[in-house]
Amino acid sequence: MKQYLCGNSHCRILTVVLTVLVTVFCILYIPEQASSDTPNEPPTIPIPLDPLVKASSYPQTESEYVPGEIIVKFKPAASADEIASVNSICSASLLYTSPHASYSLISVPLDKTVQEMVELYSQNPNVEYAEPNYITHAHWTPNDPYYDPYQWHLDNSVYGGINMEAAWEFLGAPGNPGTGVIVAVLDSGIAYENYGAYCRAPDLAGTCFVSGYDFINDDAHPNDDHGHGTHVTGTIAQSTNNGIGVAGVAFDACIMPIKVFNAAGSGTHADFSDGVHYAVDHGADIINYSGGGNTSSTTMENACAYAYEHGVTIIASAGNEKEEGNLPSYPAAYDDYVIAVGATRYDEARAPYSNTGSYLDIAAPGGDVTVDQNSDGYGDGIVQQTINLETKDPCDFGYYFMEGTSMAAPHVSGVAALLVAHGITGPDNIRQALESTAEDHGTAGWDEEYGWGIVDAYAALNYVSKTLTISTSNGGTVTNPGIGSFGPYVLGQVINISTSPNSCYYFVNWSGDTSTIANASAPSTTITMNDSYSITANFAPTSATYNLTINSSEYGNVSIPGEGPSGPYACGSSVNLSAIADSCCGFVNWTGDIDSIANPNAASTTILMNGSKTIQANFIVTPWDVNCEGAINVLDMILIGQHWGQTGAPGWIPEDVNGDGTVNVLDMILVGQHWTG
């Protein structure tokens, strides 16, 4: 066996003849020289010519139950003759009787539906229950041929891995897990493009990538010349359900490749800091850093703080030095800013190399290539595609088993991406969702071996899938967050809820799932989302009454309801208004408390009594109907002309028609011409 240290990525490369044993281990800034002997080439899993295909027992159907049959459980007291009589009456025949649960499968005649037969049997006094024979389905699994059994770390029937199949199913498998989320992978680069001497990994052909940066070579092409970064990326977002290779956790997420490790697997704190700032400034939601070392620095800590303060979650490997002193590994040990991930084996025991300590937050499969606990013929490492780890040929790819907390961290980053796509954002919320739903191991609750436990993708998604449905009775609305369904919310998240009653209504209470509402009698309060809830804001009409006071100007009066005070009127009642102008005069408008008058410019209208009101009807002398006959015509013009020959003319001459600044005979001439022309 030959061991090669690869700088500061948390992985160790081990090669053994006839066995694939590939791991990675890191010591920051202290790379050990490789043996002068040329190691044996690490074998890869051969790609089968035909991908595995799994068939279901039933043909695909839109029905959710088996057509042509129902399940019937007859009462224990029913005799065989009575059962036969029931079947005969229903024109059905017995298909099968379970020797274990004593139910029967009954045929459905051609002229009946399944639901009709269920209803017929349910009405018979000899029947305990009747129901369709519903169909269940196995959880969706990707068709990548190496997924089963080699990717035990994602899911397996014995220990469960990180429960990915239930999580994918929950998201509507295959669906688009992680869509819209950007995960920055700060590592040795990624085989993400065909550029110069570099090639895109075949099993990353369908993976989404966004622009990244190479801080080692100072260019915009962060390609992988080591192999570590491509392997890590595969666990997060390997092209999945594409009929080749292996699967990734959040396979619809986008990856931002950021190269901070050189070809030997080493980098600096300055490289890390630049990489973090680049990721944050260019839209990353999650940062995966599968590396670290035993030295802390202000530069590294400040970079982690920068990400945290800008709402970006950093997930880092906890280190592989358990057997070499178990010193804290940075940046994982910056517990205020970073989620530290330890490693477990197939049997969910802590991997022997995985660091422990007060900074450990959560664990995930990191593998142990020294054992084959699942009996698949290979050491129990984490398998993904990457470049040839011996020749470092960037266009020669294979599937390698690797172990380390480097391999554990991307499992958590992938689940974090699923959470972000599911509506949970921000480092604190993501941390809470991951840690609160982790599968507990070791000492109950948090412990130094597992943190809060092994990440569980399905449980984490359920944790953040709490929804709040809000409705109202008549008489008001909910202003925050509104009416309808809202969420998803993190378990325990506190939501502000507030109401606004309509006029003449008041808030009564909240009803429904009120157990976690701080004050169900308060119109503005909070609800704690310990589950999904449905609540209703209830309103009732007030018993208040109001008075209406009406005034009027000259030249008219108010006939309905009359001038002066009137009432009382019930809150919300509508009162008719009618204003009548004197002869030769016209109605102008209503003024005063007119906010609830249907049309303040109409002489006949209504007013809503949502408070005591004082209003006035306004009138003017009609300017052109001089003789008050109800029409404006030439006779009015003659009277106007006669009027101009008199002194002390009243002020009903209408306007300065020619715009010369005065109202005079010239204006009357123009008016006369208009009426005669």
Query: Which sequence positions are flagged as catalytic?
Result: 187, 228, 406
Amino acid at 408: A
Beta bridge partners of 399: 385
Structure tokens at 547: 């008075």
3-state secondary structure of 215: coil
Cis peptide before 174 (omega within 30 of 0): yes
* Site of tokens 């092994």: 454
Residue 355 neighbours by CB distance under 10 Å:
30
Closest CA to 643 of 668, 666, 618: 668
Taking the CA atoms of 352, 353, 358 and 363 in sequence, report the sign of the dihedral they define.
negative
- Strands 493-501 and 524-529, sheet pairing: antiparallel
Q: Are 489 and 554 in contact (CB under 8 A)?
A: no
Structure tokens at 109: 């005649």
* Site of tokens 């020669």: 396
What distance in Å separates the CA atoms of residue 644 and residue 504, rounded to the nearest whole number?
Answer: 57
Please calculate the CA angle 232-364-291 and round it to the nearest 5 degrees: 45
What distance in Å separates the CA atoms of residue 192 and residue 204, rounded to the nearest whole number?
Answer: 7
DSSP states of 112-171: S-HHHHHHHHHTSTTEEEEEEEE---PPP----TTTTTTTTTT--TTT-TT-HHHHHHHT
- Strands 254-259 and 208-209, sheet pairing: parallel
Structure tokens at 552: 């009027």
Structure tokens at 386: 């990457």
Q: What is the dihedral of CA 319, 325, 328, 330, to 10 degrees?
A: -50
Q: 291 to each of 148, 369, 408, 602, how far by Cα in Å?
A: 28, 19, 11, 78
HSE, CB side, 13 Å, CA atoms: give it for residue 620: 10
What distance in Å separates the CA atoms of residue 650 and residue 647, rounded to the nearest whole number?
Answer: 9
3-state secondary structure of 166: helix
- Burial label for 111, CB within 10 Å (0-12, 13-18, 19+), is exposed
What distance in Å separates the CA atoms of residue 85 and residue 83, rounded to the nearest whole number?
Answer: 5
* Site of tokens 């209408």: 654
Q: How many residues does the chain have?
A: 677
Beta bridge partners of 22: 13
Q: Are 554 and 533 in contact (CB under 8 A)?
A: no
Q: Are 450 and 441 in contact (CB under 8 A)?
A: yes
Structure tokens at 512: 């429904």
Structure tokens at 11: 């992985």
